[in-house]
Amino acid sequence: MGKTGAFLDYARKDDPVREAEVRVKDFKEFHGDLSQAERQKQAARCMDCGVPFCQAGCMIAGMASGCPLRNLVPEVNGLVCLGRMEEAYRRLSVTHSFPEFTSRVCPALCEAACTCGLNDAPVSTKENEKAVIEYAYANGLVKEEAPAVRTGKKVAVVGSGPSGLAAAQLLNRRGHTVTVYERKDRVGGLLRYGIPNMKLDKSVIDRRVKLMEEAGVRFVVNADVGRDISAAELKKENDAVILCCGASQPRDISAPGREGTDIRFAVDFLGEVTKRLLDSDFSDVPYELAKDKDVIVIGGGDTGNDCVGSCIRLGAKSVTQLEMMPKPSETRLPSNPWPEWPRILKTDYGQEEAIMRFGEDPRIYQTTVKEFVRDKKGKLKEVVLVSLTPQKDKKTGRMNMVPVEGSEKKLPAQLVLIAAGFLGSEKYVTEAFGVETDGRTNVKTAPGAYAASEAGIYTAGDMHRGQSLVVWAISEGRSVAKAVDEALMGYTNL
C-alpha cells in the first residue's frame, strides 16, 4: 500500500480532456495526462484490499466483474504511488500483453469492481495503467526480444486483432515461428478499423507491431484466408493454426426500404473513415459521407457512440441514436449491487459532443426503425420510428421488446448506420477449416478449452466467445497460446 488511508485524503481526479467544441475539429486522441505527482496521488487511493475484486475476472449475474487478465492491480498501483514506474511496468507485463490498447478503449472492469468504488469514486486504475505503459515506451523499456532458440514449430494465426496479436506475441517469445494473416491492408483488426482514431490513435498499434516484427513475427496483409489462401495450404505448412477472425457478421435490421447504400453497417462506415484518414496522412477527411445529413445511428453501445462522434466530426446536420432498451438508472439499483458491473446510465464522448453541438442528448430509448422511407429517386429521406415496451414471453419467460401500436413517428434521415452488434464468425472461414460451430456460429470447443473439432486448429477471441471486449480478446489470445504451446511441446512455460 503506497500511502495508508490515501483514499480518504485524495479525491479521484481524471486525466484532462480537450473540450468538446475543440476536439470535434480533428480526429486526434483527446485525453491528456496528469502530472507525475498527481498520478502518484491517484495511485495512492488504492486500498490494497485483502480481497481485490478489481483483479477477480469472474462472472457475476452473467457479467464480468474485475479484470479478465487478472492484472495485479494493487501491486501495480502501489508501485506507481511510490514513483517506481519501471517496476510497475514489469509487474503489469506479467499478466498483460498490450496495456496501451486497454488503457484507451477498455470500459475498465477493474474500476467497476474496485472496493473504493463501493462508497466513493473508484481508483483510476485504467489511467494509471496508461501512465505506466507510456512511461515504459518513453524510456525504452518496451521490447519484444527475439527468442535465443527456435523450436522448429510453425504456427499460423488468422486475424490480427487483439486476440491474434496476443497469441502471436507469446508463441513467438516461446520460440515458435509465427505468421499472422490479416485480410485488410493493415494489421490490427477492429483495433484498426473498428475503433476511431480519436479513441485509439493508430500509431499506438503501429509501434507495437513494429516491435513484434523486429522480434520475428511475420505479418501478411491483404490475405483473406478461406478465399485468397486455402485452409488446406495453411494446415499443410504449419503445425497449428489459430483462428482469431472475430465475430464479424453484423446484425442487420429487417424493415421495408432497407436496400440502398445510404444504410450502412457501422463498422464498415468507421473503417472507411479510418482508411481514408490513414491513406492520406489525415489530409483527406471524408466529409461527404455525413456532411449536412440527418444521421440515424441504430444501436446504443460503444460502436454506436463512435458513430455519433465520427459523424459530428464529418459535419452531420443532426445525429440521433436509437436504443431498444429502456433508459438505465443514473445510480445502481438494489438489484444491481457492487461488485456487479454497474448497469447505469453512461454518457460517453460522442454523446457529450452531440449535446454540445445540438443542445440535447442524441439518444432515444425504447425505439427502433419500422420503415425506411425513400423518395422517387430511391434515396433515403426519412425513417419511421416505433416505440417499444417490455413484454414477457409466455413460453420462454424471457422479456422481449415489442412495438407499441400507434406510436409511430417520422424523422428525417439521409444516412443510417446500423450498430446493432454482431452475430458470430463468418461462415466461409469456419467451413474452409471444417470446424464445428455452436448455436451462435462461434467456433465450438470444450468448455474452457481452445482446440476446435479439427486436429491442429484452435480458436480465440470473439470468434470463440462471441462479441466481447478487447480485454477479453487479449486474455483469450494469451490462453490459446498456452494451449497451442502445450500441444506442440508436451508442456508449457508460458
Q: What is the pLDDT of residues 448-476, one digit of tens each?
A: 999 999 999 999 999 999 999 999 999 99
Q: What is the pTM of this model?
A: 0.96
Give strand pairing partners of 297. 321, 417
- Which region holds residue 433: left if phi is over 0, alpha if psi is between -120 and 50, else beta? alpha
| Positions of the chain with pLDDT lower than 50, given as ranges | none
H helix or E strand, kind and range, residue 191: helix 190-193
Res 476: pLDDT: 98
Res 397: pLDDT: 85
Residue with cell 468448455: 447
Res 102: pLDDT: 98
Res 486: pLDDT: 98
Q: What is the pLDDT of residues 227-241, one digit of tens each?
A: 999 999 999 999 999
Tell me the torsion sign for CA atoms 366, 371, 372, 376.
negative
Cα gap 451→403, rounded to integer Å: 42
Q: What angle do CA 398, 438, 230 make, to 5 degrees?
A: 145
Residue 101, judged by CB atoms within 10 A of its CB (0-12, 13-18, 19+), counts as: buried
Phi, psi of 299 (to 5 degrees): 130, 135
Q: How far is CA 220 from CA 85, 227, 481, in A?
A: 35, 14, 19
HSE-up (13 A, CA, CB side) for residue 241: 28
Cα gap 486→371, rounded to integer Å: 53
Q: List own/partner pairs for 484-493 with CB under 8 A and 24 or more apart.
A: 484/155, 484/167, 484/171, 484/240, 484/242, 484/450, 484/458, 485/170, 485/171, 485/174, 485/176, 487/240, 487/451, 488/151, 488/153, 488/155, 488/176, 488/239, 488/240, 489/151, 489/153, 492/174, 493/174
Q: Minimal CA–CA distance to 47: which of 68, 79, 78, 84?
A: 78
Res 326: pLDDT: 95
Cα gap 476→459, rounded to integer Å: 9
Do 138 and 208 touch, CB atoms closer than 8 A?
no
Cα gap 209→132, rounded to integer Å: 19
Per-residue cell: 123: 481508483
* All domains in the chain, ordered by first residue: 6-138 (1.10.1060.10), 154-248+423-489 (3.50.50.60), 263-418 (3.50.50.60)
Res 1: pLDDT: 59
HSE-up (13 A, CA, CB side) for residue 239: 15
Res 195: pLDDT: 97
Res 3: pLDDT: 77
Do 246 and 161 touch, CB atoms closer than 8 A?
yes
Cα gap 14→124, rounded to integer Å: 7
